[in-house]
């Protein structure tokens, strides 16, 4: 099945908005055994019509996103009707769905929203539980010349993702073009090993496994190794990698590191507290992104100021004066203070210099100390140096911290 994606929206090409649809659709469609043939991004306006007219000639299915809103630059419905040579009519089901959405929010519907209930004659309306724009499915028979199925979908991820899963996937399956290639992707996500070291160690043996496609993706304090092939080839590849890097591999199921940490804590019946300086709450934010975090995460101390470290965590003022806030004794006292104040089983603490200001000759921007304390073992302290911009620094340190907790949990039953 030849499948193309058409993303509409001037904001995607004016440099104001990052387009994440390519990655997301790629993942979703690969899981269905499909590979995206082309992704086209165009600004609002006539370009939508031109690009859609070309795509329907090349593809069996076109997924169009954006331009379904209530405003004057939202013209995807109109452009599609024009390309397919059909009329638009106000759809009753779509109108009811719009009215229900506003009723749930206890708001009055603006007159401009009415146009969102316009659909090409003969098309299906795809309900939107998370926004005002209903999706639209135009089956191939309505588009005789090209024989191409067209889906019009909302741009915002919180509306697009559930609609794709509930409405698009079943229709793709019923179009019958999904061939079972038998290929799978295995993604082994690692933390604590560098991309070139991993490559050096495993690339040659992996490339000798017949029918195995290998890819590497270096992220911040993480390397994702991608194996594509039939199950037998993938399992050979997995065994090769795990023989060397089992301790560094935190998941093979696409989980984020914070999900692995929350799941492991829950499985062991343990609780965690955090004491953050330079990461400013990013570690607790990541932990609480995981549903069920409230069962394992109790207290987060964002002790940005020195007084906060003293008052909330009992860090010694003398040590702060003698060693500075970014030091071994301070991070140790932060972790142990968080453990004591929270009553949790494990506490992790970080303090560092995110920059751009605040560095010294002795402790340049990028210096960070991490500590993990637990009820059952000795407090472990680590020093690292990361030369990254502020946000990337925070992300990297949060990876280091979550990984320390993950490794600590291996020793606690």
- Residues 149-188 binding a copy of itself (CB under 8 A) are 156, 158, 185, 187
Of 74-103, which residues contact a copy of itself (CB under 8 A)? none
117 in helix, strand or coil? helix
CB of 122 to a copy of itself, least distance (A): 28
Judged by CB under 8 A, the residue of 26, 177, 205, 314 near a copy of itself is: 26
266 binds a copy of itself (CB under 8 A): no
Matching residue, tokens 């932060």: 334
Give least dist CB 363 to a copy of itself, A.
Answer: 15
* CA atoms within 13 A of residue 348's CA, in its CB half-sphere: 26
Characterize 78-90 residue by residue with b for buried, 16 or more Cβ atoms within 10 angstroms of its Cβ, and e for exposed.
bbbbbbbebebee
Q: Is 285 in the site for a copy of itself (CB under 8 A)?
A: yes
Q: Where are the beta strands (DSSP E) in 146-271?
A: 149-153, 184-190, 213-219, 222-229, 249-251
With binding defined as CB under 8 A, does residue 110 bind a copy of itself?
yes
Piece of 111-119, 134-142, 239-247, 260-268 that binds a copy of itself (CB under 8 A)? 111-119
Interaction of residue 210 with a copy of itself, rule CB under 8 A: no
Comparison of 284 and 333: residue with beta carbon closer to a copy of itself? 284
Longest dimension (CA), the chain: 80
Q: Shortest Cβ distance from residue 323 to a copy of itself (Å)?
A: 18
Burial of 72 (0-12, 13-18, 19+ CB in 10 A): exposed
Tell me which stretch binds a copy of itself (CB under 8 A): 38-46, 76-84, 138-146, 173-181. Answer: 38-46
- Applying the rule CB under 8 A, the residues between 336 and 395 that interact with a copy of itself are 341-343, 354-358, 385, 387-392, 394
Minimum CB distance to a copy of itself, residue 174 (Å): 23
- Residue bearing tokens 């649809």: 21
**Nearer CB in complex with a copy of itself: 41/123:** 41
Write 236-242 long-range contacts (CB < 8 A, 24+): 236/209, 236/212, 237/186, 237/206, 237/209, 237/212, 238/186, 238/188, 240/202, 240/205, 240/206, 240/209, 241/188, 241/202, 241/206, 242/188
Asked if 255 is part of the footprint of a copy of itself (rule: CB under 8 A), the reply reads: no
**CA 227, CA 247: separation in Å to the nearest integer?**
19
> Tokens at residue 342, please?
């929270």
291-310 residues near a copy of itself, rule: CB under 8 A: 291-294, 297-305, 307-308
Among 181, 311, 360, 376, the residue binding a copy of itself under the rule CB under 8 A is 311
Closest CB 161 distance from a copy of itself, rounded Å:
8
């Amino acid at each position: 099945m030849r499948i193309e994606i058409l993303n509409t929206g001037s904001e995607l090409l004016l440099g104001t908005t990052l387009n994440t649809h390519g990655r997301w659709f790629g993942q979703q469609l690969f899981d269905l055994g499909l590979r995206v043939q082309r992704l086209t991004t165009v600004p609002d306006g006539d370009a939508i019509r031109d690009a859609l007219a070309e795509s329907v000639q090349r593809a069996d299915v076109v997924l169009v996103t954006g331009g379904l809103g209530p405003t004057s630059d939202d013209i995807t419905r109109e452009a599609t009707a024009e390309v397919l040579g059909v009329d638009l009519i106000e759809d009753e089901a779509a109108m009811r769905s719009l009215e229900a959405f506003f009723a749930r929010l206890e708001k009055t519907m603006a007159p401009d929203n009415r146009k969102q209930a316009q659909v090409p004659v003969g098309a299906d309306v795809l309900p939107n539980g998370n926004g005002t724009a209903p999706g639209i499915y135009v089956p191939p028979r309505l588009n005789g010349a090209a024989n191409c199925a067209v889906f019009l979908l909302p741009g915002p991820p919180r509306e697009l993702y559930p609609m794709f899963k509930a409405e698009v996937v079943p229709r793709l399956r019923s179009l019958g073009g999904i061939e079972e290639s038998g290929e799978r992707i295995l993604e082994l996500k690692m933390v604590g090993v560098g991309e070139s070291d991993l490559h050096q160690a495993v690339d040659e043996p992996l490339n000798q496994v017949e029918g195995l496609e290998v890819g590497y993706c270096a992220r911040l304090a993480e390397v994702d190794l991608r194996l594509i092939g039939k199950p037998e080839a993938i399992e050979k590849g997995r065994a090769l990698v795990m023989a060397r890097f089992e301790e560094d591999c935190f998941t093979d199921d696409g989980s984020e590191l914070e999900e692995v940490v929350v799941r492991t804590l829950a499985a062991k019946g343990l609780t965690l507290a955090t004491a953050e300086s330079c990461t400013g709450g990013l570690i607790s934010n990541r932990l609480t992104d995981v549903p069920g975090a409230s069962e394992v995460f109790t207290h987060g101390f964002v002790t940005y100021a020195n007084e906060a470290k003293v008052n909330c965590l009992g860090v010694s003022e003398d040590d702060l004066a003698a060693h500075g806030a970014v030091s071994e004794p301070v991070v140790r006292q932060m972790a142990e203070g968080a453990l004591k104040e929270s009553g949790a089983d494990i506490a992790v603490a970080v303090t560092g210099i995110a920059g751009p200001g605040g560095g010294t000759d002795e402790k340049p921007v990028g210096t960070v100390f991490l500590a993990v304390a637990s009820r059952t073992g000795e407090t472990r302290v680590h020093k690292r140096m990361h030369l990254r911009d502020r946000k990337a620094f925070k992300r990297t340190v949060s990876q280091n911290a979550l990984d320390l907790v993950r490794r600590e949990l291996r020793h606690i039953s």
